[in-house]
Amino acid sequence: MSSLSSNQEEQQRPVSEYRILALYRFIPLVTPQTNQSTTQESWDEQTIMKHPERHPQLLQLQSELYATLRRYETRGTLLIAPEGINGTICYPYPPPTAVDDDDGNDGNNVGEYDNEDDPVKSFISNHPLFGGEGLRTRSSVWKEHQTHDDCDDNNIIKNSKNSRSDSITSDTTTTQQTNNNRPQQAFQRLKIKIKPEIVTLGLGRPITNTTTHTPTPIPQRHAYNQLANPNITKGQYLNPKQWDDAMKDPNVLVIDTRNSYEIDIGSFESAVDPRTRHFSEFPEYLERLAGEFDWSQRDQEQQQQGEDKKKQEQGSDNNGDGSNDTSSNEQTTKKKAPPTAIAMFCTGGIRCEKATSYALQSNLFPQNLPIYHLEGGILSYLD
């Protein structure tokens, strides 16, 4: 084993730059299994959601990620959960050929990744469990020259915009000179955490009855989040041009799914601010929002359009009953006219993907109401 620590070796080895890789994918990483024997723990869906940190498949994946990423002096945070993977990591480039690990291995088992141009990105992108076409990544170069004293206790550079799992780091031109003026790591350490969710919408929390504001019984406490599974359904992606067209339509309700402190920095002009402090408050916001609209009015309008079209096809010119129908629809109501569609967006795509999943699976809105989200979030829109 080398007499130098990995941090010392990193300081001595020439590093031209540090690369940032932000990634996420909703994909089932575990499957429910019935109890096969009295000595084995049963992993039904409820047990998986309650205790993901004990699941053998997630523990094995965590060990594999730690072992491989440490060889390349990678730092940052990855979240793995039954629903997928999410996080941001930083690593030196060119990569080291081998790094001693904590178990005393000499690093020679890096193997097939040694000759890759970017072995870290190759390892992540081609991983058999979460890699492939569905994995969403964003790469950039970390250009800051900072000491680790600039990091907070959560392993994040102070004032950096990648302090949330849904915020994807982009290129920055900010430089702060240090004594040696060498590129510095963006993070203090590598953390790979097993969580109930890769972006928290409320798994494991009691459902709150909005009428009585009392929690539901404990046996039902996980049902809330089961209505937000992007692996089952999610909104329709819109590319930047389609998104611009949607925002021009005054009948499309545009919702910013980010938290208030993020929205205060800037948002699309026509977007609605849910005024949430945490993403876990978003389902309750959607429940209130759905109650603001008169969805029966939308059904009546669609029904009337269908009848008008049918009359036109039949060549009918009846005007006798139209006035009666119109007068019945002119009843005053306190509820607003409903939108023709809902479009959501966030920073990097992960949060709005889960938000549209909840909107679709919660049955808060009519089943035929189109629900969209901006593909890749604001960052992809700005590219």
- The residues annotated with a catalytic role in the active site are 346
232-246: b or e for each residue (b if 16 or more CB lie within 10 Å)? eebbeebeeeebeeb
- Interatomic CA distance for residues 204 and 107, integer angstroms: 40
Give the number of other Cβ atoms within 10 Å of residue 204's Cβ: 16
* Secondary structure of the chain in HEC code, one letter for each residue: CCCCCHHHHHHHCCCCEEEEEEEEEECCCCCCECCCCCCCCCECHHHHHHCHHHCHHHHHHHHHHHHHHHHCCCEEEEEEECCEEEEEEEEEECCCCCCCCCCCCCCHHHHHHCCCCCHHHHHHHCCCCCCCCCCEEEEEEECCCCCHHHECCCCCECCCCCCCCCCCCCCCCCCCCCCCCCCCCCCCCEEEEECCCCCCCCCCCCCECCCCCCECCHHHCCCCHHHCCCCCCCCEEECHHHHHHHHHCCCEEEEECCCHHHHCCCCCCCCECCCCCCHHHHHHHHHHHHCCECHHHHHHHHHHHHHHHHHHHHCCCCCCCHHHHHHHHCCCCCCECCCCEEEEECCCCHHHHHHHHHHHHCCCCCCCCCEEEECCHHHHHHC
Exposed/middle/buried for residue 90 (C-beta within 10 Å: 0-12, 13-18, 19+): buried
Bridge partners, 90 (sequence order) = 20, 75
Extract the tokens encoding 211: 């009428």
Beta bridge partners of 93: 17
